[in-house]
Structure 1
Amino acid sequence: MQVTDIMSAPAVTVKTDATLYDAIAVMLEHSVGSAVVVDDWMVGIITRSDILRAAYAAGSELDSIPVTRGMSDDVVTTKPDTSVRHALELMKAHDIKKLPVVDDLDLVGVVTATDIAQHQPERVRELQNTIERRDDWTD
């Protein structure tokens, strides 16, 4: 099975000039736990946990905190024709649960541990056994 068979597409995105409030609004609208941050190209990814951490650290309202303050900018990506097993190995190696999927220079989707769990639950158990939880808020 390949990533293209199970990924969520299109990827949910927010622009670099968005706020944490904007990012949460987009995530709630699409019922997802992350958004890819884009400018002309993908520059980062932000999750619900990232938003909580950034809001706590800033101690201010979500609509006054730029999304770039909370995002991870060291994004690990995969390709649509990558096997699900290899995608899971990337997640394990980088201690992450979400992989943007790129085809040449185009962002075409996101594959998550949840996507894998729905299609190959035995693989997620492998991931859960290797990823250390950073805190109780990690998603």
Structure 2
Amino acid sequence: MCARVGDIMTTDVVAVERTTTLESVARQMLGREIGSVVVTSEQTPYGIVTESDVVSAVYHSGRPIDEIPTGRVASHPLVTIEPGQSTRLAVKRLQDERIKKLVVVDDLEVKGIITTQDLIDHYGNLTAELKSIREQRQREPSWPRR
């Protein structure tokens, strides 16, 4: 069986309302040593803000960071995946969308986040699992079909 997103996702996700200032978001990112924050609108997943989004917003807006609402900077709409989906599908979604992070949701509730780094960190386990599946299939008898 192929590894599932829920098996390797990071479950400690920081979420903030879209009215939160970018200064607060930057403070949380630095304090928790994380690279992104999920943005919600009335507790429903709305978007995501990354470190580079923060830097870009401050540079381009010319406004103080404490005056920039996070909702204006967030990548929206949010690209999501369910925890039961395969890691293979996660890789495809990341490639197709040209992004580095997928928010994992179940019925609009944030359950975690899976990043390209998570997939790299688990690459050895994932390839070993695939190798084991292939070997098992090769050992299974192939019955002649009529």
Report the CA distance between 1:39 and its aligned residue.
2.2
Give matches, 1:1-139, under 5 Å: 1-40=3-42, 41-120=44-123
Gaps of 5+ in 2: 127-146
Count of residue correspondences: 123
Bigger drift between 92-101 and 55-64 goes to 55-64
Q: Is the 8 A contact 1:100 1:111 kept in 2?
A: yes
Q: Which runs of 4+ in 1 moved over 6 A?
A: none
Alpha-carbon distance in structure 2 between the residues aligned to 1:77 and 1:16: 17
Length-normalised TM-score, structure 2: 0.79
Contact 1:17 1:67 in 2 (8 A): yes
Return 5+ residue gaps in structure 1 as ranges: 124-139
Name the Cα RMSD after superposition: 1.7
Deviation at 1:17, TM superposition (A): 1.3
Contact between 2:45 and 2:109, CA under 8 Å: does it hold in 1?
no
